[in-house]
Amino acid sequence: MTPQEYCSKKTAQSGSSFYYSFLFLEKKKREAITALYAFCREVDDIVDDASDEHVARSKLNWWGQEIEKMWLGTPQHPVTIAIQQFIEPYKLEQKYFKLIIDGMMMDLEQQNYETMDQLKEYCYRSASAVGILSASIFGYTHPTTLIYAEQLGLALQLTNILRDIKEDLARGRIYIPLEELDKVNIKRANLSHSVGEKSFDTLIDNQVAIAQKLFDSAERNLHIDDRQSQKAGLIMGAIYRKLLNRIASKPAGSFTKRQTLTPIHKLWIAWRIWSKP
């Protein structure tokens, strides 16, 4: 199995919405973004599957060393071997890969956040860094497009948090900040018991509004000259906006059934955006 085949298999196994945003990319860019996403899956799986924090931290440290080896020309893992060939063509910066690792470390060490600013710092590391690397692969000419990528990453991650609220709670994690819970008089320990109450609906409405503002701000910062090259990101944003709207329509829904879109729906969104001039 070649490094690229390994990356393709890794991303296919995840069943992620990202597949639909990659679908229409030219071969080289599709291979580059697939390798990047495989890297994200590798490090994210370490945290999700962690039964021993020390072992997980050791694995993440290994990946941190592997990142440095990419820039030295001596990577060992199929994913980093695949990524290495795209560093120069797409001007990928090492610091963003390291920020992704930092975000995974935060997941190991911190189950709760006090403020929205703290949560956004986590989201910047775990998602905006990925967005900026992705924008570099897709191609851009205006610096504000990186602001678009940063804010899109924040919006996507906040949407993920709302979608996965029940699963995260089962793992002992509550990403919605304490200051947001305080606004609606919900205690962390009572979050699951508030489902179906007006306070819970208001909590979700407030978080949806924050994510929607970030989606809007992201699109405003995407320069018109870069819209064509950044269509893959626009597809992802459109899929997640639709998911966010579904969450908003049934705030308690994430506690009864994981909110998703069908593959056909995602494909339709991808085709609709890609076919626009």
For residues 143 and 271, state if they share a domain.
yes
Residue at a domain's end among 109, 127, 154: 109
Find the CATH number of the domain harbouring 40: 1.10.600.10
Q: Please tell me whether residues 157 and 259 are part of one structural domain.
A: yes
Give pLDDT, residue 89: 96
Contact present, 41 and 14 (Cβ < 8 Å): yes
Q: What range does the domain containing 123 cover?
A: 112-277
Residues 103 and 170 in one domain: no
Q: What is the pLDDT of residue 18?
A: 75
- Residue 14: the pLDDT is 62
Is the same domain home to 95 and 118? Answer: no
Are both 156 and 272 inside the same structural domain?
yes
Q: Report H helices in 164-277.
A: 165-170, 178-183, 198-221, 231-249, 253-256, 263-274
If asked whether residues 75 and 160 sit together in one domain, one would say no
Residues 6 or more apart whose CB falls under 8 angstroms from that of 188 comprise: 112, 174, 178, 181
* Number of domain units in the chain: 2
Residues 68 and 124 in one domain: no
The tens place of each residue's pLDDT in the chain, 277 residues long, gives 899 999 988 887 666 677 778 878 999 999 999 999 999 999 999 988 777 888 999 999 999 999 999 999 999 999 999 999 999 999 999 999 999 999 999 998 888 899 999 999 999 999 999 999 999 999 999 999 999 999 999 999 999 999 999 888 888 889 999 999 999 999 988 888 888 889 999 999 999 999 999 999 999 999 999 999 999 999 999 999 999 999 999 888 778 777 777 778 888 888 888 887 6
Please give the pLDDT value at position 196: 82
Same domain for 86 and 132, yes or no, is: no
pLDDT of res. 224: 94
CA–CA distances in Å: residue 176 to residues 30, 163, 200: 33, 12, 12
* 157 shares a domain with 59: no
DSSP 173: -
**Last residue in a domain, options 86, 109, 132:** 109
Give dist(CA 158, CA 173) in Å, integer: 14
CA distance 262 to 84: 34
Regarding whether 254 and 154 lie in a shared domain, the answer is yes
pLDDT at 215: 97
Whether residues 87 and 152 share a domain: the answer is no
Per 3-state DSSP, the chain is made up of helix, strand and coil in percentages (nearest 5) of 75, 0, 25
Co-location of 146 and 70 in the same domain? no
Contact 163, 259 (CB under 8 A): yes
Last residue of a domain, one of 84, 109, 134: 109
Closest CA relative to residue 158, chosen from 186, 128, 132, 187: 128
